[in-house]
Amino acid sequence: MKLKTRITELLGIDYPIVQGGMMWVGRAELAAAVSNAGGLGILTALTQPTPDALREEIARCRSMTDKPFGVNLTILPSVNPPPYAEYRRAIIESGVKIVETAGHNPQEHVADFKANGIIVVHKCTAVRHALSAERMGVDAISIDGFECAGHPGEDDIPGLVLIPAAADKVTIPMLASGGFGDGRGLVAALALGAEGINMGTRFCATQEAPIHDRIKQLLVDQDERATNLIFRSLRNTGRVAKNSVSDKVVEILRNPEATFADVAHLVKGADGRTALETGDVDAGLVWAGQIQGLIHDVPSCAELLERIVSEARSIIDQRLPQFTA
């Protein structure tokens, strides 16, 4: 049972459901499982320590699925930035056909990907950024509402407003991202003008996600209130799961004189990786969105996608028609 939208047609997938790129999580096991289940799995380029390691991970994913999958390349400002151009070249030379870009000023990368015939989906948090990306020539937009894990931007616009606002102006296919995890969300996204959904946190709570079972159980146990917004005062807002580390970061940054240096020791990416891999939920930051409140189990990716699509079909075919009878 397929769901046909411009997203499924563009990406060559059965269901309009995309697994977003996630640091330390977007590995071959998960990406292949999502793709095999009918969605689009995505590897996270910078999870791999070198461009050559990314080449190996792409090959590993290809050995696990014959379905389309993509690679995420997120460009963030940094004192010592990774060799983005070399990662980009690894993606191109490995024959990847779909890329998810995110972050700041992707023009150079988009131009090179498009010159090599690669489909580019750009993830952003504002309508103005979506329109800029459309002018750059990307093929699709993933619009990220305030409910999302990661960096929701500084406008604080939730998906219920942001998705239709973007749909009013963006002409290329669009994914709705942030706060999606079930069939109700998929139907709502379609009704608001998107043509599919991008899920991150929900895919962390699947059997194939390469993270510790205690982290998956944390996502099941916590509700929609159990996230913290960190770095607000630094205008680099991030949404993470509520734990002792993120509580401490929020507490420190309440001081108007506080700077990033005051919390740097608490927010190291390596500590977040330790939390994900060891299951020590207080070892570092655990990035998670408000969709936690709608996560109640840890299914396989195949079970999850089939459930989402079946629920969406039921809503479209059975629940909604009763209101127009």
CB 57 within 8 A of CB 25: no
Domains in the chain (CATH in brackets) are: 6-208+300-323 (3.20.20.70), 213-290 (no CATH)
CB 282 within 8 A of CB 245: yes
CA pair distance 193, 287, nearest whole angstrom? 27
CA pair distance 71, 91, nearest whole angstrom? 7
In sequence order, the 6+-apart residues with CB closer than 8 A to the CB of 78 are none
Closest CA to 144 of 10, 47, 239: 239
Instruction: At 49, list the tokens.
Output: 């320590």
Q: So what's the pLDDT on residue 262?
A: 97
Give, in degrees to the nearest 5, the angle at Cα 141 between 139 and 145: 175
Q: So what's the pLDDT on residue 76?
A: 85
3-state secondary structure of 80: coil
Strands 17-19, 140-144: pairing is unpaired
Q: What is the pTM of this model?
A: 0.96
Q: Chain centroid to CA 312: how far?
A: 21
Q: Per-residue pLDDT tens, the chain, 325 aa: give them.
A: 678 999 999 999 999 999 999 999 999 999 999 999 999 999 999 999 999 999 999 999 999 999 999 999 999 877 789 999 999 999 999 999 999 999 988 999 999 999 999 999 999 999 999 999 999 999 999 999 999 999 999 999 999 999 999 999 999 999 999 999 999 999 999 999 999 999 999 999 999 999 999 999 999 999 999 999 999 999 999 999 999 999 999 999 999 999 999 999 999 999 999 999 999 999 999 999 999 999 999 999 999 999 999 999 999 999 999 998 7
CB 145 within 8 A of CB 176: yes
CA pair distance 100, 47, nearest whole angstrom? 14
